[in-house]
């Protein structure tokens, strides 16, 4: 294969994926490792960090992992300093850590609202602010944010999450605007509905064994008529982390099986016997 593919290599880069013990973060980290990067990750508690270390060990991937709450600036600054000392300064940051609370807005407490905003929007601010000085000095860096369908669309019960993910789209554009001059690119991945623990409640079979109404609904809105798999997002993540995307900045790239382009069809038209169902074990 020609030299062109070297543009997609992450050889020699230090990549920090936040909240990467499982789910999409683990998938991004595996893809980055297989593309040559050194992986560092954090999670919210030691149990999750240990779970992540086990997952990476199973895959033969050497990683640095530590507890760090992305909403705690002191912990984040210490994490970045420890990584610089033990692994090297961070070249690629994926602001992946996130939570969702599915509660009707009129029933949501201010505390619950703030918890979601804190992790999903303030966390990316805190972590990006921590890695920018070294990226500015090196005049090189990649910041990739975890946007969402909810960066563009609303739906019942996810007001705080949608507000955070909409804000994260604009934070992506603002980091691009302010730091593009340092050869730092900030883009976002906008996944559709992907099979991970976070979305498992939306696929849970009904007591009579029938599909969850939301499962049928989202398939009627997805031309692919299936849920995304974490593997579906790995190629885009490597692309946005690599030199191949150096002239892309401030963009949200939607990877959603076509949801954002399709008005949808009557869910009753769908034939479950022709559908691909998720093995929830695989979606961990
Ligand atoms: P997930 O399963 O909920 O994993 C998120 C990870 O972040 C978990 O390990 C979580 O730990 C960790 N985390 C939560 N709060 C944290 C904090 N304060 N500090 C550090 N780590 C923290 O999510 P996912 O489905 O893999 O999605 C990953 C990202 O993509 C999220 O930002 C999500 O909003 C976004 N996204 C997901 C989908 C989807 O369909 N799955 C689609 C679009 C966007 P805990 O286990 O303790 O929560
Ligand atoms: C929900 C889902 C979504 C997905 C994702 C879609 O309750 O609607 O959790 O928000 O997590 O963000 O892109």
Domain ranges of the chain: 5-192+229-250, 197-227+264-284
Instruction: Round to whole Å and give the CA distance between 29 and 60.
Output: 12
Contact (CB, 8 A) for 83 and 90: yes
List, in sequence order, every residue forming a beta bridge with 188; answer none if it has no partner.
145, 252
Burial of 73 (0-12, 13-18, 19+ CB in 10 A): middle
Chain mean position to CA 158: 17
Instruction: Round to whole Å and give the CA distance between 186 and 9.
Output: 18
pLDDT score, position 244: 98
Helix (H, G, I), strand (E, B) or coil at 188: strand
Instruction: Round to whole Å and give the CA distance between 96 and 92.
Output: 12
pLDDT score, position 225: 94
Average pLDDT across each block of 10 residues of the chain; the chain has 284 residues. List them in order: 90 98 97 98 96 97 98 98 98 98 98 98 98 98 98 98 98 98 98 96 94 96 96 98 98 98 95 86 78
Instruction: Round to whole Å and give the CA distance between 54 and 166.
Output: 34
pLDDT score, position 279: 81
Strand order in the sheet with 38-43: 63-67, 38-43, 14-18, 92-95, 141-146, 184-191, 252-255
Q: Which two tokens stand for residue 146?
A: 């975890």
To the nearest 10°, report the CA torsion of 76, 8, 196, 225: 150
Instruction: Round to whole Å and give the CA distance between 161 and 169.
Output: 12
Q: Where are the beta strands (DSSP E) in the chain?
A: 14-18, 38-43, 63-67, 92-95, 141-146, 184-191, 252-255
**Among protein residues, the one whose CA lies closest to atom 11 of ligand 2:** 199
pLDDT score, position 28: 98
- From the CB of 192, is ligand 2 less than 6 Å away? yes
Contact (CB, 8 A) for 284 and 197: yes
CATH-assigned architecture of domain 5-192+229-250:
3-Layer(aba) Sandwich (3.40)
Interval between CA 4 and ligand 1 midpoint (Å): 34
pLDDT score, position 27: 98
**Among protein residues, the one whose CA lies closest to atom 12 of ligand 2:** 148
Interval between CA 204 and ligand 1 midpoint (Å): 19
On whether the pTM is more than 0.75, the answer is yes
Interval between CA 59 and ligand 1 midpoint (Å): 21
Instruction: Round to whole Å and give the CA distance between 152 and 191.
Output: 11
Contact (CB, 8 A) for 13 and 41: no
Instruction: Round to whole Å and give the CA distance between 236 and 255.
Output: 8
pLDDT score, position 1: 63
């Amino acid at each position: 294969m020609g030299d062109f593919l070297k543009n997609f290599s992450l050889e020699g880069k230090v990549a920090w994926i936040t909240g990467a013990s499982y789910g999409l973060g683990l998938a991004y980290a595996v893809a980055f490792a297989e593309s040559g990067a050194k992986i560092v990750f954090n999670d919210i508690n030691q149990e999750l960090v240990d779970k992540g270390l086990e997952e990476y060990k199973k895959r033969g991937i050497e990683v640095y992992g530590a507890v760090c709450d992305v909403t705690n600036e002191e912990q984040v600054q210490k994490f970045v300093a420890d990584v610089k000392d033990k692994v090297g300064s961070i070249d690629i940051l994926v602001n992946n850590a996130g939570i969702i609370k599915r509660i009707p807005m009129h029933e949501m407490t201010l505390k619950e609202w703030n918890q979601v905003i804190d992790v999903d929007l303030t966390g990316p601010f805190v972590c990006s602010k921590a890695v920018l000085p070294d990226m500015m000095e090196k005049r090189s860096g990649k910041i990739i944010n975890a946007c969402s369908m909810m960066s563009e669309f609303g739906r019942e019960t996810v007001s705080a999450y949608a507000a955070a993910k909409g804000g994260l789209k604009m934070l992506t554009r603002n980091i691009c605007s302010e730091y593009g001059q340092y050869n730092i690119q900030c883009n976002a991945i906008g996944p559709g509905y992907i099979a991970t623990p976070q979305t498992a409640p939306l696929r849970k079979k009904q007591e009579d064994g029938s599909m969850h109404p939301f499962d049928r609904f989202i398939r009627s809105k997805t031309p692919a008529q299936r849920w995304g798999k974490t593997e579906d997002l790995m190629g885009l993540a490597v692309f946005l982390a690599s030199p191949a995307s150096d002239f892309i900045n401030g963009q949200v790239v939607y990877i959603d099986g076509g949801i954002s382009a399709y008005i949808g069809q009557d869910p009753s038209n769908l034939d479950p016997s022709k559908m691909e169902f998720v093995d929830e074990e695989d979606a961990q």
